[in-house]
Amino acid sequence: MSSSDKHIFFDLDRTLWDFDENSKHALRQILDHYELVPLFGSFDRFHRAYEKQNARLWSAYGKGVLKKEILRYERFNATLRQFGRQDIDLAKDMGTMYVEVSPRQTRLFPMAKEVLLELRQMGYRLHIITNGFREVQFIKLDNCGLRDFFEVIVCSETVGKNKPALAIYKHALDSANCSSDKAMMVGDDFVADVSGALNAGLQAILFDPHQCSKHNYEHTAQSLSEIPFKASQLLRI
């Protein structure tokens, strides 16, 4: 079986696109634009509070109990309230600006394009499975010059299920016209990307560049440059 029969699905945020650094850059622009640094005392104080609120609300969204339209502004609204500012209109404006500015940031993890090119040259067919919002994920891919590397791009809100649900992996496999035994997932989230993929019958690599995972998973990569070799081992030709 040739490598052209093999498929590699990538997560996008925190796997190829450096979500944390890109988000920080966007958030700094927002605080400067609305002159909010004095309210929070420093960007770092704001960012720590925002990250906690954002994680809490994303968890609710992932469970299907919060709509994305509310998530987009409530993470700012909750952070403003934490510092004594009651201003829902400001929170909504901040949410709108974030969605406009953040996906246009272009920082990728080191070697992202080089590794994708190498995998393509090796004959692997590449795809994306992401829990991110459809409209912003496509902006990210376009602005970073990644779009053309991928044949199938699956967003959870299109499917109606988030990773690690079996349904989104089945949808991705069907869309790529491949079977699970010929496919592999690469992502930074052990539950969503690794457990979800394994449960669907795919192989999986955990991307852990900061070595912060609590899971002692055998197939872990600290650098994207490790992916081609690991792929050749897991998807044996």
Beta-carbon contacts of residue 216 (< 8 Å; ≥ 6 apart):
none
Lowest mean pLDDT among 61-65, 118-122, 123-127: 61-65
Buried b (16+ CB within 10 A) or exposed e, 188-220: bbbebbbbbbbebebbbbbbbeeeeeeeeeebb
Confidence check: pLDDT of 146 > 90: yes
pLDDT category, 1, cuts 50, 70, 90? very low
DSSP letter, residue 151: S
In this structure, the strands spanning 7-10 and 203-207 are unpaired
List of residues 6+ apart from 44 with CB closer than 8 A? none
Give the pLDDT confidence of 67-107 residue by residue, as tens digits.
Answer: 999 999 999 999 999 999 999 999 999 999 999 999 999 99
- Distance CA(234)–CA(237), nearest Å, equals 9
User: Is residue 195 predicted with pLDDT exceeding 90?
Assistant: yes
Query: Contact, 194 vs 221, CB < 8 A?
Result: no
- Mean pLDDT of all residues belonging to the chain: 95
Instruction: Report whether pLDDT(3) > 80.
Output: no
| Per-residue pLDDT reduced to its tens digit, 13-54 | 999 999 999 999 999 999 999 999 999 999 999 999 999 999
Predicted local confidence at residue 9, as pLDDT:
98
CB distance 59 to 71 below 8 Å: no
At residue 220 the predicted structure's pLDDT band, cuts being 50, 70 and 90, is very high
Is a pLDDT exceeding 60 seen at residue 237?
Answer: no
For residue 4, what pLDDT band results from cuts at 50, 70 and 90? low
Half-sphere exposure of 92 (CA within 13 A, CB side): 5
The model's confidence at residue 155, banded by pLDDT at 50, 70 and 90, is: very high
For each of the domains in the chain, give its residue range(s) and CATH number, in order of start: 3-18+108-234 (3.40.50.1000), 20-104 (1.10.150.240)
β partners of residue 13: 17
CB 183, CB 230: distance < 8 Å: no
Return phi, psi of residue 67, to 5°.
Answer: -80, 150
| DSSP code, position 224 | G
Q: 62-66, 108-112, 201-205: lowest mean pLDDT where? A: 62-66
Cβ neighbours for 125, distance < 8 A, ≥ 6 positions apart = 4, 6, 7, 8, 151, 176, 178
List, as one string, the DSSP characters of 13-81.
BTTTB-HHHHHHHHHHHHHHHTT-HHHHSSHHHHHHHHHHHHHHHHHHHHTTSS-HHHHHHHHHHHHHH
